[in-house]
Amino acid sequence: MQRPTFNNLYAIFTEGGGVQELISSTDTTEREYIEGEMIVHCDDKDQVWAIVFEDTDTAEHVRQEYIDATGDSNVEVKPTLATSVEEHHNYRLYRYDGEWEDITHKNYIERMLVD
């Protein structure tokens, strides 16, 4: 059985990105994606995988590995929305329990629970 996926995630951004909460006149809160550049993985077949996380601890660990490897410390972990990932990108999802999974864009959206 495939595990469900979620819209509310975290990603490592090199520029911009994240989400902001907007409160409407009816006191409801909506989340809006802010355009940005997130860290991605490109495989040997030139497929692009958006690297996303269910928790901030794992995201911060990978962020530090990125800084160590590149020397670029101008990266931030920010909340994001899975629905903001472009359709030609897939997902490399790091789960809160230490597991990770590569999921095609179509399959990720099909498995997504509303949150």
**What residue segments make up the domains of the chain, in order of their start?**
8-113
Contact 89, 28 (CB under 8 A): no
DSSP assignment, residue 83?
A: G
Per-residue pLDDT at 34: 85
* Window from 8-17, 24-33, 55-64 with minimum mean pLDDT: 24-33
Region 57-84 average pLDDT:
96
User: Whose CA is closest to 80, among 109, 106, 51?
Assistant: 51
Split at pLDDT 50, 70, 90, the class of 114 is low
The alpha-carbon radius of gyration of the chain (Å, integer) is 14
Report CA-CA distances (Å) from 88 to 18, 48, 67, 85. Answer: 20, 8, 26, 8
* pLDDT(115) > 60: no
Contact 1, 74 (CB under 8 A): no
